[in-house]
Amino acid sequence: MTTRRFFDDDTERRKWQNPEAVLTGIGLKPGFTFLDIGCGDGFFAIPAARIVGEKGMVYGLDADKDAIGRLVETARKLGLSNLILRVGRAEETILCDGCADIVFFGIVLHDFESASKVLSNAKRMLKHGGRLVDLDWKKKPMDLGPPLGMRFSEEKAAGLIKEVGLQIETVKTDQPCHYIIIAKT
């Protein structure tokens, strides 16, 4: 997966998406282990590292080595030492076995070459009782985001998640541009 930037910067993105609100809304808590798959520059990974605190851990994975480099630098500047960052393809990379409280996809699941393989890997990384969270673009025309043809509908994403053996807990569609699917082991 190559990270695409659909917005000029994080400040612009924050006008329509609050990462702290999203993360607390999905139940992220201090002490959790959080995996951000397709983390890019850390729009969600940085706030997640703050939320989980010193007793928690955030793993970030992205195929874009430059994005990971920027995230490493940002974490260093902010004094965050609870991030483990890797360059790699999510179809081929297992960050841990059964360690994650939450495996998170922040508007990226549609970007992977094989979403099914990525989801299967995510299931392997979840601890018993852990949750997979897919935050993604609604499949409707809008000025933001990827082309309509690339997007997964909530039904398609939920179907892919079910196919790997996870149970859909909730599907939230109350945001104008995005939906959130939460599944559990």
Read off the pLDDT of residues 106-128 as tens digits, 9 standing for 90 and up.
999 999 999 999 999 999 999 99
Q: Considering the chain, what is the average pLDDT of its residues? A: 92
Looking at residues 16-26, what average pLDDT do you find? 90
Looking at residues 142-164, what average pLDDT do you find? 95
What amino acid is encoded at 37 in this protein? Answer: I
Looking at residues 74-95, what average pLDDT do you find? 97
The pLDDT assigned to 9 comes to 56
Among 97, 28, 38, 100, which residue's Cα sits nearest to residue 67? Answer: 38
* Domains along the sequence of the chain with CATH: 19-139+149-167 (3.40.50.150)
Please give the angle made by the CA atoms of 121, 2 and 167, to the nearest 5 degrees: 30
Q: Is the pLDDT of residue 24 over 90?
A: yes
Looking at residues 14-28, what average pLDDT do you find? 88
Q: Is the pLDDT of residue 59 over 50?
A: yes
Q: Model confidence at 2, in pLDDT bands (50, 70, 90)?
A: very low
Global confidence as pTM = 0.92
Q: How many CB atoms lie within 10 A of CB 24?
A: 13
* Residues listed for the chain: 185
Looking at residues 36-60, what average pLDDT do you find? 97
